[in-house]
Amino acid sequence: MESKLEYQHRDLIEACKLGKRTAQFELYNLYVDAMYQTSYRMVGNTADAEDVVQDAFVKAFTKLESFQYKSTFGAWLKRIVINQSVNFLKAKKLPVCTNDDITDENTFDVEASVEIDIIKIKKAIKLLSDGYRRILSLYLLEGYDHSEISQIAGISVSTSKSQFHRAKKKLVDIIKKEEWKS
| Range name among 44-53, 110-119, 120-129, 144-153 with the lowest pLDDT average | 110-119
Using pLDDT thresholds of 50, 70 and 90, give the confidence band for residue 60. Answer: very high
Q: Is pLDDT of 130 > 80?
A: yes
CATH of domain 99-177: 1.10.10.10
Q: Is pLDDT of 1 > 80?
A: no
The pLDDT value recorded for residue 8 is 52
CATH class of 4-91: mainly alpha
pLDDT tens digits, 80-94: 999 898 888 888 764
Q: Is pLDDT of 66 > 70?
A: yes
Higher-scoring residue by pLDDT: 149, 21: 21
Q: What secondary structure does DSSP assign to 95-106, as a single string?
A: ----GGG--GGG
Rounded Cα gap, residues 141 and 160, in angstroms: 15
- How much is the pTM? 0.58
Contacts of 151 (CB under 8 A, 6+ apart): none
- Overall average pLDDT of the 50-65 stretch: 94
Same topology between domain 4-91 and domain 99-177: no
The domain ranges of the chain are 4-91, 99-177
Rounded Cα gap, residues 106 and 114, in angstroms: 18
Higher-scoring residue by pLDDT: 120, 86: 86
Q: Is pLDDT of 98 > 70?
A: no
Using pLDDT thresholds of 50, 70 and 90, give the confidence band for residue 136. Answer: confident
Mean of pLDDT over the chain: 78
Q: What secondary structure does DSSP assign to 115-152, as a single string?
A: TS-HHHHHHHHHHS-HHHHHHHIIIIIS---HHHHHHH
